[in-house]
Structure 1
């Protein structure tokens, strides 16, 4: 797909990290970008920087997502590109014993469901609503109507201790990529997913330097954390390469996560 000033795009989680880098990359090609996020101050700042529009969106809420797409399309027209970066995580063991008093507890199911709702259901919600909109577009010269890029994680394949919910949610994103690509193939909409490794995002920046150094040392090569711009490079390749479809691609410096 050619990305230019006639292209409208939506990036969820676009106020920071991987999403912000992708929003900037799309805007650098001339695309009109709408940022979906709950971080209003940061989102407005990125939107102003790239000449886009910010939409305060909670991906777990139907009405909020509908309102976001309505605002984005009123400003830029129907999007041909959707990049899903909105997500979160937690770290809780399935069942555990207290080291102090020996009491036993299990993973609270509401905390498990919260991760699934944001990372998996939220991603699917945005895909379904965006794809329905893309179906209204005239196909381009090669028959293509749109491109969708999702964000999973290497935890989808080698989740660590405490990552049952996170790994399940990201594994779900990986698992639904090919079926959705097949659902949309006759309409000329491509769907791909990136599985990032350990990236230097705002969340990671909050960690102590010693922790970040240890994580970087665990990466086979290059021995550093990934940069958000590298995620954006792969996202742009998935968008612009018309033969890229139905794929789940690790972007991780060849790391395979240890149990802890």
Structure 2
């Protein structure tokens, strides 16, 4: 009974807010004035000016642009650092060894040579790879070439390059060891015939006469030294320029923000 009475009182109190409005407005029911104030207040709280939304959108877009710019700058700096590290490695792997070999070379003087004799004298044993941890023996023909130096008339043995002196000083050319001896013999025979047909060629000799031989080509000449130093230097300069440009861009951006802050 107590619950029913309280419910009736509450319903009567609620209907009074509607009845007073219906009697004065032709039967139309309107909510209580406090309810209207609550709705208007809610609309004012949720609705924001258009210029404020636009400003927030601009701030969001600016943050996205700054984030993308920062990521691009980081990638550019990593690229520059990678180029610098690569150039240093190229200096140590290529530049310094080739430069040292160029400084220690013996056959430095270029002169004209006349081929005196070019014959295959013997066969030399060699070994070739036939797989993982597999080596087999073979042989290649040893070609001996003697030339006469036109500057002095001295007859010396001719070799293909500096490596031939270290591997086998008796032979002019050392082919890659293969299983097929006939193929290697054809290669060496063609080289011998070509030397005979040229007859006169340019060779390099030791000006101090310490080495009683001459070489046809230089492995560590000026061209090799140029390429071993030029490309690492270009890579180093390119990486340094990239890093410097990124740092300069960051510095200018900071200065622009400071100036705009002072003006604002």
TM-score bin (small chain):
under 0.3
> Quick check: which one's helix share is greater?
2
Normalising by structure 1, we get a TM-score of 0.19
Computing the radius of gyration over CA atoms, which structure comes out larger, 1 or 2? 2
Higher relative contact order (CA 8 A, sep 6+): 2
- Normalising by structure 2, what TM-score? 0.18
